[in-house]
Structure 1
């Protein structure tokens, strides 16, 4: 049986709702975010029946909160959830807790580039995030499917690694909170959960 990796982004947070950058700071899920996590869990449950899997989450609160809701839906004991700091979101330096509106006012052309987020002063680099994800993957078991509850940007880098994508192609990927991605044998399937 080929290993499948399920890449999940946390549900909507208060900061997402306010269009505020989180990075490695945290805000709690909104009611909508909790419902997104529940629906992802229900759909994931259909995919995991009869398969051996482990559930991993970024150690940031919003990912853990999402993973706990998913665990309830798939019948996976929360105590068996594996939290790992290597799955955390990019550190966004001085832009953490800034709103997109504030940044657009300060830098009018900022959003023209898909990877604009990496222009944040003191931000964690793409290569640093890729390196910690590769390190995590090298430690993950080959014998189990992996459910990975992470973040928007970290999630696209992980998908890029698993699909052997170029830097530019990674930044074309979307970051849904109401879908997840199943990666198997170098192919990806998007699963809608709305």
Structure 2
């Protein structure tokens, strides 16, 4: 079983700024999302037999570290960092507003393929290769107990590879910051957090 979650909302998510491998801290809402997703993950873990032991694996980027720390507090698991589940590198576009890239490249922004077109960035094949390597190194499904804290594009690709989806179906997957996915027995189930409101 894999329990997969995306990091909570970041300051750059709000600003619609391309993050890639750059750092942006969680917003107050993002911190609440992280705690809510951590609670869901802990509940899913508690439903399973004690053995085999669970692992908690996170992308090493700051926003996933913050989210993984919330999961660690709820589960008592130590965090392992693995760069293979980090977000796509967006090269020269990192730190720039989506709107300005969309204005310069309207044909790319008609689809989600723009993520893979950044000068100096990763391609779909690059991301799929490293995430595929991560999945290949996991134990067989019957012995697999891992919580993965990842990102939007990386999480899409991970779910797509697990389910054997074609590329366009992968790019169309939702990437919520208030839900947890359970990948088990060839099936993917989504568990949503209780609605979280902005604090006044």
TM-score by length of 2: 0.89
Alignment of 1:82-97 (within 5 A): 82-97=80-95
**Residue in 1 aligned with 2:114?**
116
C-alpha distance after superposition, 1:147-169 (max 9, x if no partner): 00000000000001110111111
The CA distance in 1 between the partners of 2:188 and 2:111, in whole Å, is 25
C-alpha distance after superposition, 1:62-84 (max 9, x if no partner): 1111100111122x24xx21101
C-alpha distance after superposition, 1:37-72 (max 9, x if no partner): 000011111111144311100011111111001111
SS in 1 for 2:64: helix
Asked if the contact 1:27/1:62 (under 8 Å) is kept, the reply is: yes
Segment of structure 1 superposing worse, 107-116 or 41-50: 107-116
How many aligned residue pairs are there? Answer: 188
**Residue in 1 aligned with 2:165?**
165
Q: Tell me the C-alpha RMSD between the 2 structures.
A: 1.3
Aligned-pair distance for 1:14?
A: 0.9
Alignment of 1:1-194 (within 5 A): 4-49=1-46, 50-51=48-49, 52-74=53-75, 76-77=76-77, 80-142=78-140, 143-194=143-194
SS in 2 for 1:115: helix
The unaligned stretches of length 5 or more in structure 1 are: none
Aligned-pair distance for 1:184?
A: 0.8
C-alpha distance after superposition, 1:94-151 (max 9, x if no partner): 1100111211222234321122211211220111111111211222233231100000
Moved over 3 A (4+): none
* 1:157/1:23 CA distance change after superposition, 3 Å: same
The CA distance in 2 between the partners of 1:83 and 1:108, in whole Å, is 36
Asked if the contact 1:54/1:144 (under 8 Å) is kept, the reply is: no
The unaligned stretches of length 5 or more in structure 2 are: 195-200
SS in 1 for 2:112: coil
The CA distance in 1 between the partners of 2:63 and 2:150, in whole Å, is 9
Asked if the contact 2:6/2:176 (under 8 Å) is kept, the reply is: yes
